[in-house]
Amino acid sequence: MAKRKRPKERSPLPRALFFDEAADRARSCGSKDAYPSEQHARATAAMNGMADALNVYRCRYCEFWHLTRRREEYID
């Protein structure tokens, strides 16, 4: 059986589809306060008069909840 040249190693996905986890983590988790529950996060937003301006989301990294400005981030 003839030896075949190995194809050059290539990433299976175009670069644009790479998910930069470190950057995402810093943006969506590391720089934010974490709350133990959705209720805590919403209550904090309300106390700051930001209930209408902030979204609450469950963090995929720390499993806590964070607040984010609406329109700033798109969550799933």
Residues in touch with Zn ion (CB under 5 A): 29, 59, 61-62
The CB density around residue 52, as the number of other CB atoms within 10 Å, is: 8
Q: How many helices (H) and strands (E) does the chain have?
A: 2, 2
Helices (H), 1-76: 21-25, 38-47
- Least spacing, CB of residue 25 vs Zn ion, in Å: 8
- CB closer to Zn ion out of 29 and 53: 29
- CB closer to Zn ion out of 42 and 61: 61
Q: Is 42 exposed, middle or buried (0-12, 13-18, 19+ CB in 10 A)?
A: middle
- Least spacing, CB of residue 17 vs Zn ion, in Å: 23
- CB closer to Zn ion out of 3 and 36: 36
- Least spacing, CB of residue 49 vs Zn ion, in Å: 23
